[in-house]
């Protein structure tokens, strides 16, 4: 079941990454043209392309961190991909925080994406700090939290068309809601799952003891 979930995550991650790559040809896009003068501002463009490009790499490298075979049999690859993931998350998150304040339909949207960026950088930083300290189990838990936020790139693109095309809500309303809905439920679900795992581990220790 766990391998099936990983496979589904990887499938969705690859799909969204492929769709997002269209923003990396440095050609004018609606998402940039809507920004007016910002579409030609070099600082904003650096932030935008950093966020998108490194976010794609984080999305693609993340699922491999949770594959037991890679971690056990190819530890060097696991560590290398882990470093790539951490760097991509931190830089993409910082860039995302900067461009969040210029999001469409702000202020609700801006605060939603800015909060996501802060949580993303924080959880990834915690994961890295714990592995540097040799705290493998805590590292594992924080990596799950980090990737739950990385996966917001996927859930955003699932929720938004559902609201705009399925529920016929306006784009403005949908975008404001999805700026929070794309990541808060992800984090809550992974937290519930981690707590359940801890309870099961405690029970197994109690039975074994």
Task: State pLDDT tens for residues 112-160.
Answer: 999 999 999 999 999 999 999 999 999 999 999 999 999 999 999 999 9
Predicted local confidence at residue 16, as pLDDT: 81
Cα–Cα distance for residue pair 209/194, rounded to 1 Å: 22
Which pLDDT score is estimated for 59? Answer: 94
Q: Are 150 and 59 in contact (CB under 8 A)?
A: yes
Whether 209 maps to a domain, the answer reads no
Q: How many domains does the chain have?
A: 1
Tell me, yes or no, whether 130 lies in a domain.
yes
Residue 165 covered by a domain = yes
The stretch 189-206 carries a mean pLDDT of 85
Q: How confident is the model at residue 199 (pLDDT cuts 50, 70, 90)?
A: confident
Q: Label residue 36 left, alpha or beta by phi (over 0 means left) and psi (-120 to 50 means alpha).
A: left
Higher-confidence position of 11 and 188: 188
Domain residues for the domain of 160 are 2-198
Is residue 208 one of the residues assigned to a domain? no
CA separation for the pair 66, 73 (Å, rounded) = 13
- 207 lies in some domain: no
What contacts 70, CB < 8 A, 6 or more positions away? 64, 77, 78, 81
> Does any domain span residue 86?
yes
């Amino acid at each position: 079941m766990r391998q099936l979930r990983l496979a589904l995550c990887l499938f969705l991650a690859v799909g969204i990454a492929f769709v997002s790559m269209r923003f990396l040809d440095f050609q004018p896009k609606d998402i940039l043209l809507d920004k007016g003068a910002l579409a030609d501002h070099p600082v904003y463009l650096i932030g935008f392309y950093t966020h998108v490009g490194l976010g794609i790499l984080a999305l693609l490298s993340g699922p491999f961190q949770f594959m037991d075979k890679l971690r056990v049999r190819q530890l060097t690859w696991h560590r290398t991909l882990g470093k790539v993931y951490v760097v991509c998350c931190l830089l993409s998150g910082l860039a995302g925080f900067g461009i969040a304040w210029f999001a469409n339909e702000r202020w609700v949207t801006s605060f939603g994406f800015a909060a996501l960026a802060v949580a993303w950088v924080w959880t990834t930083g915690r994961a890295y700090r714990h592995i540097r300290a040799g705290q493998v189990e805590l590292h594992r838990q924080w990596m799950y939290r980090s990737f739950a936020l990385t996966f917001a790139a996927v859930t955003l693109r699932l929720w938004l068309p559902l609201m705009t095309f399925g529920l016929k809500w306006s784009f403005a309303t949908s975008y404001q809601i999805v700026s929070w809905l794309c990541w808060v439920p992800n984090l809550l679900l992974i937290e519930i799952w981690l707590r359940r795992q801890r309870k099961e581990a405690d029970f197994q220790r109690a039975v074994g003891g």
